[in-house]
Amino acid sequence: MEQVVHEAVAQAGSHGGDFAAVALVIAVAALAGLGFLWLRQPPLVGFILAGILLGPTGLGLIENNDSVAFLGEMGVVVLLFFIGMELSIKAFVISLRQALLVVGGQLVSAALLAVLIGLLLDVTTREIVILSFVIAISSTVVAMKMLDEMDALRGDAGRIAVGVLIAQDIAVVPMLIFVSSFGGQGFDITATAIRVLVAVGIMAGLLWYFGRFGKLKVPFAEKVEDKVELLALGALALCFSAAAISGVAGLSPAYGAFLAGICIGNSTLRSRVIPVVEPIQSVLLVIFFLSIGLLIDLTFIWDHLAIVLLAAVGVVAAKSVLNVMFLRWTGSSPQTALIAGLSMAQVGEFSFVLAAAGLAAAALSDDLYRLVIAVTAITLLVSPVWVSVMRRVEATLTEGLESYRNALAVAYAQELREVGRGRAFVGHAVAGSRARLIAFNHARRERRRRKAERRAENKAAKGAAASAVKAEPDGGQHS
């Protein structure tokens, strides 16, 4: 009995230490988030830094264990579920053409960048494919947060960027299926193609159905719409059930959660479910970004600092230029393309999931996985600063050009006045010549009209005289 009591006390003490660690993690994450919010930056950057600080290569207060990774995966599943609920099918269809063109361009350019990186690092073909997927994806959470901070989320830039980001999130599903198929000895392209086609077909069918027939009517909706607990429990049950079924079917858990989100978002309970699920999603996202920080190996970054920084800066710069270029080619204005393109310059949170799937399938080496994690985290950390700097550079260049024009105007004021006088003189001369030409043409037309009238009068007079002569008897010979 005494031994049992000692074991219980020891276990309680162990749990107390675990709770202390959890409390410390939450406190540091909250303080970091508040700090970055005060700096007018996305709080999730603070969450990542908190994970780095407390992680195995930081202060070592948290080990990167399976529980944290599992909670991070739950965060991704709930994130896709929430994105599906928030998806406005009508708005997405309006921007679908441009979104597909931009995402297609991003995938092609990301593949070229991945090939270049692959040649420099001597990696395999499978790793190049995974790298191209990783580079192409942008962060939906970071981009939407930055657009909201710039008051651009509800404008043209926000609408276009959200359309492209949703198209990317949808593209993650076949990417995950493709990367997961790399596991094993061989790659079955037929089975992979069938799974991708099935996934795309189901999603396209859902989008078509809701676009044509409108909202789903949930049975007993009026009885549960005010029951917060039942709404939260039911929504999460549907989310994780769909994720489980999708995973067992060989697709992706995130895919099933996304489909479940679309169904809830196009039902009569949408407005009731979103406020209930949003806090849960926010908590799981905090854990997800904390887990990203825990995955970052500071020793690896320090040992390969030049490669990591070069890859991060190169990816952000290339994505910025290419995004703006693709948006301009597809019809966006320069200002809209700049804001939307810069907001999508980072590597996204789903890139962690793709990299983890590649590592699990033994298609991605451990060093390349750590490089992907480091580069993705750095781009997420610097993305808000990057957008701010690039917008200031653009504004400075515009202001500098205007100042340069003003300086030229002051330096050559006399010449500009003479040019103005000459322009005025030429304008008056041209106007006078034009008026004289108009008057000359008018007078000439008037003379022609009068000549024509006189000819017509003379002809009429001659005709009348001839008729009178013919009307006299014997032509006037008997008089």
What confidence tens digit (pLDDT) does each residue in 96-130 have? 788 889 989 989 998 898 888 888 877 888 888 88
Mean residue pLDDT of the chain comes to 75
Q: Domain 65-386 is of which CATH architecture?
A: Up-down Bundle (1.20)
The pLDDT, as a whole number, for residue 71 is 65
On the question of pLDDT at 175 being above 80, the answer is: yes
Provide mean pLDDT across the span 287-298: 78
303 contacts: CB under 8 Å, gap ≥ 6: none
Structure-block tokens of residue 352:
């962690």
For the segment 331-360, what is each residue's pLDDT rounded down to a tens digit? 888 888 888 888 888 888 788 888 888 888
CA-nearest of 278, 181, 176 to 231 is 278
Q: Phi and psi for 411 in degrees, rounded to 5?
A: -65, -35
Structure-block tokens of residue 268:
């009569």
- 345-355 in b/e form (b: 16+ CB < 10 A) is bbbbbbbbbbb
Report the first-to-last Cα separation within the chain, whole angstroms: 169
CA 269 to chain centre: 27
Structure-block tokens of residue 297:
């190996």
Structure-block tokens of residue 371:
């490089």
- 368-384 in b/e form (b: 16+ CB < 10 A) is bbbbbbbbbbbbbbbbb
- What is the gyration radius of the CA atoms in the chain, in angstroms? 36
For the segment 84-99, what is each residue's pLDDT rounded down to a tens digit? 887 777 777 777 788 8
107 contacts: CB under 8 Å, gap ≥ 6: 132, 136, 171
For the segment 31-56, what is each residue's pLDDT rounded down to a tens digit? 887 887 787 666 777 888 888 887 77
Query: Can you spell out the DSSP letters for 56-115?
Result: TTTT-SS---HHHHHHHHHHHHHHHHHHHHH--HHHHHHTHHHHHHHHHHHHHHHHHHHH
